[in-house]
Amino acid sequence: MPYKRITLTHFLLQEQRRLGRSGVFTALMTDILTACKMVSHEVNRGALVGNHGVAGSENVQGEEQKKLDVLANDIFLHMNALGGNYAAMASEELEDVHAVHGTAEGRYLLLFDPLDGSSNIDVNISVGSIFSILRLPEGADASKADAFLQPGVQQVCAGYALYGSSTMLVLTTGSGVHGFTLDRDVGMFFLTHPHMTIPADTKEFAINASRARFWEPPVKRYVDECLAGKEGPRGKDFNMRWVASMVAEVHRILVRGGVFMYPKDVENAKKGGKLRLMYEANPMAFIIEQAGGAATTGTERIMEVQPTDLHQRIAVILGSKNEVELIESYHKG
Ligand code: AHG
Ligand code: MN
Ligand code: MN
Ligand code: MN
């Protein structure tokens, strides 16, 4: 019965009462929700309002920025400064920390990837936004990157918005993973996917196979064994997917299981990998673990890695627990 559904705000209030928490999560989430709704609106209008194409600038990663990378970043910065909850923010699209002035009460730090899967914007394939919330350490200067350099286990909340065939918001505050779908007419996210859990086993993997010539032996071994199918050591046939939007891949894994890999390889090793630890790997690792999955670099639990740089890159292997543990055993063995 659709009219019996609960909104994301009501869900957070219920959780707050159930877990005896302060109202802080509800407050922290409010501005993020608005930002995600606004980005969803801009993604959806696409070419109608000239939102496709490149911005003509480069970000700190050395990537060419798309118009929507810049627009989504501006929306996140603006909306999340208004509530007074955040002392500072950091983004894939900004080299330095963005301090929020005039909010002495801001005790939290917000990290985000405003638009994930930029290469998919102009071809109308799912994109998303990823966010991670940390506490501002006692006595730390919020305007300095050092305040942000906390391992993923310190996250108080993480989530993503998926701008797909429907817009969804998936989040964890450390008590399971819950998914909400945007009702555009009502303008609200409603709980549609409570307690998302990842099956421990899978027959589906995701990796950019065009990089096979760069893979390290453990990854090559794992993929070869999957490709060998029923006749191989795994004794089952595997399916492969690659959307090139991490948000979409993680969402698929939350819904039906699977494993996603963007490993360190001989070509990207000098940078440490491709995906960014603070606003891609850590929030996704938190969500995946809260849903019963696992997230590793191959040798180390992602959320235990001590960051040394705001834009640090890292190897990512995440998803169905038994599968991730198998890949990890190949790295360690
Ligand atoms: P972003 O668009 O935020 O820069 O992130 C892109 C990431 C991630 O979403 C995806 O998994 C991966 O890069 C795609 O990489 P390939 O271009 O190698 O497919
Ligand atoms: Mn990018
Ligand atoms: Mn991204
Ligand atoms: Mn991005």
- Domains in the chain, start-ordered, CATH in brackets? 8-195 (3.30.540.10), 204-332 (3.40.190.80)
Q: What is the DSSP secondary structure assignment for residue 120, as one 8-state letter? A: G
Minimal CA–CA distance to 24: which of 84, 77, 104, 96? 84
Q: What is the pLDDT of residues 27-72, one digit of tens each?
A: 889 999 999 999 999 999 999 999 999 999 999 999 999 999 999 9
Going by alpha carbons, the residue nearest to atom 15 of ligand 1 is 244
203 by Cβ neighbours in 10 Å (0-12 / 13-18 / 19+) ranks as middle
Our answer on whether the CB atom of 268 is closer than 6 Å to any ligand 1 atom is no
Q: Cα 200 vs. chain centroid, distance in angstroms?
A: 20
* pTM, to two decimals: 0.98
Is 80 touching ligand 1 by the criterion CB < 6 Å?
Answer: no
pLDDT tens readout for residues 240-253: 999 999 999 999 99
Q: What is the pLDDT of residues 140-172, one digit of tens each?
A: 999 999 999 999 999 999 999 999 999 999 999
C-beta 72 within 6 A of ligand 1: no
Q: Give every CB contact of residue 74 below 8 A, 6+ residues apart in sequence.
A: none
Q: What is the pLDDT of residue 102?
A: 67
- What atom of ligand 1 comes closest to residue 210's alpha carbon? 18
* The pLDDT value given to residue 105: 73
Q: Which residue has the tokens 């070419």?
A: 47
- Please state, in angstroms and rounded to a whole number, the distance separating the CA atoms of residues 89 and 9: 23
By most ligand atoms within 8 Å of CB, the mutation choice from 64, 69, 116 for ligand 1 is 116
- For 303, the 3-state DSSP assignment is helix
Mutate to test the pocket of ligand 1, among 118, 163, 240, 274 (most ligand atoms within 8 A of CB): 274
DSSP string, 15-81: HHHHTT--THHHHHHHHHHHHHHHHHHHHHHGGGGT--SEEEEE-TTSPEEEHHHHHHHHHHHHHHH
**Any binding-site annotation on 113?**
yes
210 is in an annotated binding site: no
One-letter amino acid of 49: V
Q: What is the ipTM of this complex?
A: 0.98
CB 208 less than 6 A from any atom of ligand 1: yes
- pLDDT averaged per 10 residues in sequence order, the chain, 333 residues: 88 90 85 97 97 97 97 97 92 97 80 98 98 96 96 97 98 96 97 98 98 98 98 98 98 98 97 98 99 98 98 98 98 93
Give pLDDT, residue 27: 85
Ligand 1: which of 58, 111, 262 to mutate, judged by most atoms within 8 Å of the beta carbon?
262
CB-based contacts of 72, cutoff 8 Å, min separation 6: 39, 42, 114, 115, 129
120 touches ligand 1 (CB under 6 Å):
no
Ligand 1: nearest atom to the Cα of 115:
3
- Find out whether 117 is annotated in a ligand binding site: yes
Ligand nearest to the CA of 274: 1
C-alpha to C-alpha distance for 125 and 248, rounded to whole angstroms: 9
